[in-house]
Amino acid sequence: MATRARRPQRRSEALSRERIVAAAVELLDTAGEGGLTFRALTERLATGAGAIYWHVANKDELLDAATDAVVAAALAVEPTGAADPRDEIRAVALGLFDAIDEHPWLATQLATELSRSPSGTVTPRILESIGRRVRALGVREDSWFLAATVLVQYILGGAAQNAANARVLGPGANRDEFLGTVSKVWEELDPDEYPFIRAVAEQMRDHDDREQFLAGIDLVLSGITTLYVPGE
């Protein structure tokens, strides 16, 4: 009996730049930058290398696109009418904090983007998001750049340090046990050489990383409004 030739199964989704970038982010999350190869992408997307090269020219472009996609999602804070710009800045800051915490590769890639290609999409995207809200605070125009860049430096630096701490501890590590051990060591330091460290040992053990990060945002905002907002 004659049989009909089976047609190759059609992919449910057409290959697009967005699908490629999403797959690249997944590979970066699971295998790091070294695991992001076009061979790995072709296997994940069940396609040929030529189809991927149609959308992205090389690995650097792919890394830039993955970084931009994650940052764009992190910055998707919807202004709400008469919302306080300070609250919006905190929300933007936490969005970036969580994104860098969730994607271990992002801190390094952001540092590379900011220094290597400040005219690319990522740097203007972050600075615009913070800068609009700095302007809404009533900061003097001649201090917009200074205030916005100080905030950006604190946000990215603080988030990157938090992510680095998590990487040092490693997956599955007990943060409370680690901080408890450090706190005990601090408490046993020489009281003449380290009076401050001994005094804050308990506070260090009990601190919350996100609360500490937001406290830094509030300190920076207090300085900005005191120094650069007329009438404050």
End-to-end CA distance of the chain: 89
Quickly tell me which residue has 């990215």 as its tokens.
156
Digit-coded pLDDT (tens) for 126-137: 999 999 999 999
Picking from 7-11, 109-113, 213-217, which range would have the lowest pLDDT averaged per residue? 7-11
pLDDT tier, 223 (very low <50, low <70, confident <90, very high otherwise):
very high
Q: What average pLDDT does the chain have?
A: 87
Dihedral angle over CA of 35, 52, 66, 61, nearest 10: 100
Q: How far is CA 228 from the centre of its chain?
A: 27
On the question of pLDDT at 29 being above 50, the answer is yes
Cβ atoms of 104 and 167 within 8 Å: the answer is yes
Percent of the chain with pLDDT over 70: 88
Domains (ranges, CATH) in the chain? 79-228 (1.10.357.10)
Quickly tell me which residue has 């809200």 as its tokens.
133
On the question of pLDDT at 81 being above 70, the answer is no
DSSP state of 225: H
Digit-coded pLDDT (tens) for 137-187: 999 999 999 999 999 999 999 999 988 877 776 666 788 888 899 999 999
* DSSP codes of every residue in 105-137: THHHHHHHHHHH-TTSSHHHHHHHHHHHHHHHT
d(CA 177, CA 96): 27
